[in-house]
Amino acid sequence: MPRGGARSHLQVTRRIRTGADSLVALAFLGGTSGVGHGPTSRLPGLRFSPSPARQSARAGPAVATVPTCVDAIRQAIPSDSELSMPLFTVEGRAVRHLPAERGTVYVAIRAQSDDPQSAQFAANRAFGTVVELAKGAAADGAATWWGANGVVHWSAKEWHKPKPHLDGTYVDRHFAGATLRVKFADFGRLHTFVTSAAAVPAVRVTSIEWALTENTRDAAVSTTRVAAVTDARARAEAYATAAGYTSVALVHLYEERLRPGLGHRGEESGVGARNDVASAGDTGDLSLHPDQITVTTVITADFEAE
């Protein structure tokens, strides 16, 4: 026995069985002195002391208090992630392409002149003409909705140099303008409206936005959500089978950009909002052909092998 008495030791044995929790056996082998003051255990942070009776008798095994043992065991046993089955992290994706059901025409009116009355008059006349076209389309059901901002007037100074040999100067320019939107269900009438509006002086058709009805959109989003989860599970099962496992169980599922630690990347689910829908094409060229609408859902999921 070493001088100063034998040191006390705590031995922790871990046995892991497939499909069962880890079993921990504790054996306390002690001496009579130096308890709790030397390297009493290889487990980090473990400190235990003998009972008062043992301190007086200086004999018998050292007895650790229950809370102290529990703390030591928690440090010695691997974490749940170390003991759990493998995780397969996969992406699930679903895309649907649907024909557009609505087309919204955006119209801009802008008139300018050297005097405010002329600019205001031109803008008011153009605005009245386009409003009548919109009202007519809505009256017979070709358009489901229309709205407009009233004509406003503003001015700005512009640099003016009438001829190369003359000095330039700032002059006041006066402007008047308005915006208007019309949503069509009848694409033939949409074409007629665009042609008629574009022929009005001071009027410009700026864009056409294609969309689905609310009911169709919601149904498509629901369908792609289910399909994205199915796709993720199929991927995880394929990987698990290749790795020698028979099945997988879902542990976590995240919508796009909600998984912690991934940072920011371009969003693919819908356009502008999670799992929303938008036109897949650029209608800035005033193409009158209805675009297909792309509905996309992207998720990531963790599956545990079984």
pLDDT tens-digit readout, 73-116: 556 555 554 556 899 999 999 999 999 999 999 999 999 998 99
How many other CB atoms are found less than 10 A from the CB of residue 5? 15
How is residue 117 annotated by DSSP? H
CA 161 to chain centre: 53
Beta bridge partners of 106: 181, 207
Which pLDDT value is given to residue 67? 57
Beta-sheet pairing, 277-279 with 203-211? unpaired
User: How much is the mean pLDDT over the chain?
Assistant: 76
User: Of 12, 47, 54, which Cα lies nearest the Cα of 31?
Assistant: 54
Please tell me the distance from the alpha carbon of residue 226 to that of residue 93, in angstroms, as a whole number.
10
Cα distance from N-terminal residue to C-terminal residue, the chain = 51
Q: Is the pLDDT of residue 179 over 80?
A: yes
Which pLDDT value is given to residue 265? 63
Long-range CB contacts for residues 263-270, cutoff 8 Å, separation at least 24: 268/93, 268/296, 268/298, 269/296, 269/297, 269/298, 270/221, 270/295, 270/296, 270/297
Give me the helix-helix angle, 116-139 and 187-198, nearest 10°.
160
Which pLDDT value is given to residue 249? 96
Please tell me the distance from the alpha carbon of residue 2 to that of residue 25, in angstroms, as a whole number.
27
Residues recorded for the chain: 306
The domains of the chain, with CATH numbers, are: 9-82 (no CATH), 87-99+214-305 (3.30.110), 102-211 (3.30.70.2970)
Q: What is the DSSP string of 119-168?
A: HHHHHHHHHHHHHHHHHHHHHTTSEEEEEEEEEEEEEEEEEE-SSTTS--
Q: What angle do CA 79, 18, 251 make, to 5 degrees?
A: 55
Which pLDDT value is given to residue 205? 95
Please tell me the distance from the alpha carbon of residue 147 to that of residue 164, in angstroms, as a whole number.
46
Which pLDDT value is given to residue 79? 57
Which pLDDT value is given to residue 217? 94
pLDDT, greater one: 141 or 262: 141
Which pLDDT value is given to residue 294? 92
Q: Is the pLDDT of residue 47 over 80?
A: no
Which pLDDT value is given to residue 291? 76
